[in-house]
Amino acid sequence: MRVIPLTLLALYMTLCGCDEKSAPPATTRNAIPSDPDLAQIYVNSCQLCHANPAANAPLTGDRQAWEPRIRQGADTLLDHAINGYNGMPPMGQCVECTEEQFLQLIGFMADQPLPQ
Ligand code: HEC
């Protein structure tokens, strides 16, 4: 089950001819999760950096920027979200977030499914 979505993703990346340098439009990066609880966490904790090009964080909805990070796998992403990673602060400033919520937030920002 892990191989299929990644293969499709790779195919999509090849076929779409996406320009690596193209940043997502503001409407994409300013999106918020549809789930109200998740949206609140996102706005309070993640959006400040992940919708702000100056923060050097992979932007919400920027599939290009997230794709190589997603390839690291859910465990690594979760580890980096919880323990911090370079400019990414530990827990992304959400001390009460559960692992499940982190995974949902990452999936939302990356706009693509996380490998299991
Ligand atoms: C203070 C700014 C800031 C906040 C707040 C923040 N991030 Fe980040 N985040 C960053 C930066 C900067 C990076 C890029 C780090 C790098 O690759 O060097 C990053 C990267 C990440 C990554 C990718 C790590 C990897 O392995 O490539 C994940 C996942 C992530 N953030 C999740 C979150 C989540 C979830 C939240 C909210 C709960 C959040 N971040 C809040 C700044 C922030």
Q: How many whole angstroms from 110 Cα to the centroid of ligand 1?
A: 11
pLDDT for res 97: 97
Q: Give the distance (Å) from ligand 1 centre to CA of residue 109.
A: 10
d(CA 45, CA 82): 13
User: What confidence score (pLDDT) does residue 115 get?
Assistant: 83
- Tens of pLDDT along 16-56? 545 445 667 888 899 999 999 999 999 999 999 999 999 99
- The Cβ of residue 68 has, within 10 Å, a number of other Cβ atoms equal to 9
pLDDT tens for each residue of 71-107: 999 999 999 999 999 999 999 999 999 999 999 999 9
Cβ of residue 94 lying under 6 Å from some atom of ligand 1: yes
**pLDDT confidence of residue 94:** 96
The more confidently predicted of residues 8 and 106 is 106
Establish whether residue 110 lines the binding site of ligand 1, counting it when its CB lies within 6 angstroms of any ligand atom: no
Which amino acid belongs to residue 110?
A
The rounded distance, in Å, linking the Cα atoms of 24 and 28 is 6
What pLDDT is stored for residue 31 in this prediction? 95
Q: Which of 45, 50, 78 to mutate to test the pocket of ligand 1 (most atoms within 8 A of CB)?
A: 50
